[in-house]
């Protein structure tokens, strides 16, 4: 049972087996040099202190070796993406051959839909959640239009019940039944950016396949946050970014998963590039395209080493801490935050994120009645970095690697102060 005391929060920190990893991150500070309470890892993760060293190594090798760095750098650049594969696969619950780090999230989403969205005259519709992240909606709509399908007809939205924020599986099943044999693809954000709801990926996949649809997931708010167990859940594909919970820096590369059952499928169409070509003959420029098996076969271009170096730094922190421990602390942190919010007894505050820890990640979305962005600005002035989403929601994401229980406790005090001043 949680307690609403500073002493309790400090005791939780003392008992935290991964508490020392906080010291491995740069923490934003206020004008007086005091660390701010950073609760925005769901938008941009903090920088590991080791990132500078990892990137500097590549800069030094570039300076000393020039083009020879491709083969003679301390971490040769030609196979550099392979240095990330095992650790990334463990974080998303996949086999190494099912995962590759490449491009950015929406680019990867388009590449996956080229292969896995193959509409026919009768089976052409795509299902996404009603409040999907805008870039997902834009990407899906543009894919429909490329196939000369009107999005008003081809795009189906999975809505939560009226007046609620959480989608229900029975409504997804009803949507599939109402559009029987017409759905070609289900593409869901694994963890919704707004509500914080973590969807049952295995159940969605089973349901989609049962109805003859391909199934893919956007793990932008899932990778490094929840354990999606992609191989076990059976999804056809997944994509993600690495700059949120994976702490690899603004605009850094994304990741891609393709289930092993598609490893040698010659019927899959794709947009091809030379980095997806057989490694043994890649530099024999006059060879016909010889696709690599597995997720690597969707690569287009040689990897941007400096971005990958930042990802490698972060993945090493994850490996050292152990993702099971990270996830366990995440559940404890959000549980403590939920307890404190409920203990406020404020009828104007509602948590729209599911209470069940299995249905959420490291985020609680706090809806404040009659609030506007002034509340968020007041929190910022008090040294809290969180995220405001219109019309009335504060997204709070206590990332387990660098957020303390004491930070969560202090956030509540500052929230109370902001509310008292404004309302």
Distance between start and end Cα atoms, the chain: 31
For residue 411, the domain's CATH number is: 3.90.1150.10
- Spatial separation of the C-alpha atoms in residues 65 and 61, rounded to whole Å: 6
Indicate whether 199 pLDDT > 90.
yes
What is the CB neighbour count within 10 angstroms for residue 55? 19
Phi, psi of 57 (to 5 degrees): -60, -40
Number of independent structural domains in the chain: 2
For residue 189, the cross-strand partners are 218
Residue 265: predicted pLDDT: 85
What is the CB neighbour count within 10 angstroms for residue 157? 12
Report the percent of the chain where pLDDT is more than 70.
Answer: 100
Q: What is the pLDDT of residues 233-284, one digit of tens each?
A: 999 999 999 999 999 999 999 999 999 999 888 789 999 999 999 999 998 8
Q: What is the pLDDT of residues 357-408, one digit of tens each?
A: 999 999 999 999 988 899 999 999 999 999 999 899 999 999 999 999 999 9
For residue 119, the domain's CATH number is: 3.40.640.10
> CB burial class (10 A; 0-12, 13-18, 19+) of residue 363?
buried
Same domain as 342, residue 308: no
- Spatial separation of the C-alpha atoms in residues 46 and 241, rounded to whole Å: 15
Q: How does the average pLDDT of the chain come out, rounded?
A: 96
Residue 285: predicted pLDDT: 80
Q: Is residue 57 part of a domain?
A: no
What torsion do the CA atoms of 135, 136, 137, 143 make, to the nearest 10 degrees? 110
Residue 212: predicted pLDDT: 97
Last residue of a domain, one of 263, 284, 319: 319
Q: Is residue 342 part of a domain?
A: yes
Residue 287: predicted pLDDT: 84
Same domain as 409, residue 307: no
Residue 343 pLDDT level (bands cut at 50, 70, 90): very high
- What pTM was computed for the model? 0.95
Q: What is the pLDDT of residues 10-48, one digit of tens each?
A: 999 999 999 999 999 999 999 889 899 999 999 999 999
DSSP 174: H
Residue 286 pLDDT level (bands cut at 50, 70, 90): confident
What is the CB neighbour count within 10 angstroms for residue 33? 6
Same domain as 334, residue 313: no
Residue 157: predicted pLDDT: 98
Q: What is the pLDDT of residues 147-174, one digit of tens each?
A: 999 999 999 999 999 989 999 999 999 9
What is the average pLDDT across 298-326?
97
What is the average pLDDT across 116-140?
97
Residue span of the structural domain in which 15 resides: 6-47+322-422
Residue 304: predicted pLDDT: 96
Last residue of a domain, one of 319, 345, 370: 319
Q: What is the pLDDT of residues 46-64, one digit of tens each?
A: 999 999 999 999 999 999 9
Same domain as 204, residue 189: yes
Residue 422 pLDDT level (bands cut at 50, 70, 90): confident
- Spatial separation of the C-alpha atoms in residues 97 and 259, rounded to whole Å: 9
Residue-wise DSSP of 398-423: --TTT--HHHHHHHHHHHHHHHHHH-
Ranges of beta strands (E only) in 87-140 are 99-102, 125-129
């Amino acid at each position: 049972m949680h307690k609403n005391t500073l002493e309790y929060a400090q005791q939780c920190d003392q008992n935290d087996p991964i508490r020392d990893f906080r010291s491995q991150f740069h923490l934003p500070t206020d004008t007086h040099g005091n660390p701010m309470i950073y609760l925005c890892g769901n938008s941009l993760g903090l920088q590991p202190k080791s990132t500078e060293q990892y990137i500097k190594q590549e800069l030094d090798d570039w300076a000393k070796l020039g083009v020879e760095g491709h083969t003679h750098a301390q971490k040769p650049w030609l196979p550099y993406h392979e240095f990330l594969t095992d650790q990334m696969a463990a974080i998303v619950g996949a086999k190494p051959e099912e995962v590759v780090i490449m491009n950015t999230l929406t680019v990867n989403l388009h590449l996956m839909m080229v292969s896995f969205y193959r509409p026919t005259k009768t089976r052409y519709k795509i299902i996404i959640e009603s409040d999907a992240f805008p870039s997902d909606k834009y990407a899906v709509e543009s894919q429909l239009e490329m196939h000369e399908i009107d999005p008003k007809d081809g795009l189906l939205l999975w809505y939560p019940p009226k007046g609620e924020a959480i989608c229900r599986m029975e409504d997804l099943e009803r949507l599939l039944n109402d559009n029987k044999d017409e759905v070609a693809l289900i593409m869901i954000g694994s963890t919704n950016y707004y509500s914080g709801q973590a969807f049952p990926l295995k159940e969605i996949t089973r349901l989609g396949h049962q109805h003859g649809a391909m199934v893919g997931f956007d793990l932008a708010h899932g990778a490094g946050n929840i354990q999606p167990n992609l191989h076990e859940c059976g999804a056809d594909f997944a994509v993600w970014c690495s700059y949120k919970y994976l702490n690899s820096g603004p605009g850094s590369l994304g990741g891609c998963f393709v289930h092993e059952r598609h490893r040698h499928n010659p019927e899959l169409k794709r947009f091809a590039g030379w980095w997806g070509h057989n490694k043994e003959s890649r530099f024999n420029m006059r060879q016909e395209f010889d696709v690599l098996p597995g997720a690597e076969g969707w690569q287009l271009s040689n990897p941007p080493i400096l971005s990958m170096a930042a990802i490698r730094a972060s993945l090493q922190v994850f490996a050292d801490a152990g993702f099971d421990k990270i996830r366990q602390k995440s559940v404890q942190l959000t549980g403590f935050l939920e307890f404190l919010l409920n203990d406020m007894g404020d009828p104007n505050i509602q948590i729209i994120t599911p209470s069940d820890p299995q249905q959420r990640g490291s985020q609680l979305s706090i809806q404040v009645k009659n609030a506007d962005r002034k509340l968020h600005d007041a929190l910022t002035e008090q040294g809290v970095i969180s995220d405001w989403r219109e019309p009335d929601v504060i997204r709070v994401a206590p990332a387990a690697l660098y957020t303390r229980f004491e930070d969560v406790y202090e956030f509540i005090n500052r929230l109370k102060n902001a509310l008292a001043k404004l309302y």
